[in-house]
Structure 1
Amino acid sequence: MANLINLPTFKDDRGILTVLDSHLDFEVKRIYYIYKACAKRGGHRHKKNRQAVICLNGSCEIFVNDGKSKKTFTLNKNNQCLILDSTDWHTMDKFSKDSYLLVLASEKYDVNDYIDEEYK
């Protein structure tokens, strides 16, 4: 099942620094971001790809079904990181107008890695 973690954040008179380093147990091979989203995204799981998802601005909800349990995560702080296992069927929805969703993936894009069917 997906895991929501709080990333270490450091604040001083120079600004705010949030760090994601040893929290990932995979090498990042692909980075993309979603913004101005006006529809539900995702609707799949993967054979191999794992993902780390951070809402850098605004908010959104991510629904996860791992075949055993279902849970909805609200991402509304830029120091929250949702780690998705490859087997986590997920959708991203309810994006605020100002949301920027950053995704770090363990694999490069491969259409054959996608499984569209949700668990029953």
Structure 2
Amino acid sequence: MSHFPVLKLPTHTDPRGSLTVLEGALPFAVVRSYWIYGADGQTRGGHRHRHTRQALVAVSGTVTVYMNDGVATDNVVLAHPGQCLLVEPKDWHTMTFGPGAVLLVMSSHPYDRSEYIDEPYA
């Protein structure tokens, strides 16, 4: 079990496919959303935030997220679109993308470069 919270999102499956619902599942209001793709084998991120909370969902493929909150570290593997990793402002994180992976990121604040902390924990 990870030190970092991974939500199991409500998913409804029938013979026509699966539908995963975010409504009411996140502990913050989503102000900004974006997705990262075409990053096969690449590592992105490498920062933490002053205020922004994030929710990460690998909607396709596998993304391994290295997490470090200054106390604990873990590699969280997101390999199912029903999994959602919560990233708190204190969490240093990098994301490594498997082949064809698409990562959806939902943020509690709009983009502001001055909000990023680029220095990892010692």
Tell me which residue corresponds to 1:86.
89
TM-score by length of 2: 0.92
Task: Determine the C-alpha separation between the residues in 2 that align with 1:23 and 1:118.
Answer: 29
Task: Determine the C-alpha separation between the residues in 1 that align with 2:4 and 2:26.
Answer: 13
Structure 2: stretches of 5+ with no match in the other structure: none
The yes-or-no answer on 1:72 pairing with 2:83 is no
Cα distance, 1:12 vs structure 2: 1.7
CA RMSD after TM alignment:
1.1
Question: Do 1:64 and 1:88's aligned partners in 2 also have CA atoms closer than 8 Å?
Answer: yes
User: In terms of mean alpha carbon deviation, does 8-17 or 47-56 score higher?
Assistant: 8-17
Structure 1: stretches of 5+ with no match in the other structure: none
Percent of aligned pairs sharing the same letter: 44
Tell me which residue corresponds to 2:55.
52
Residue from 17, 42, 46 that aligns with 1:43? 46
The secondary structure found in structure 1 opposite 2:85 is strand
Tell me which residue corresponds to 2:7.
5
Tell me which residue corresponds to 1:63.
66
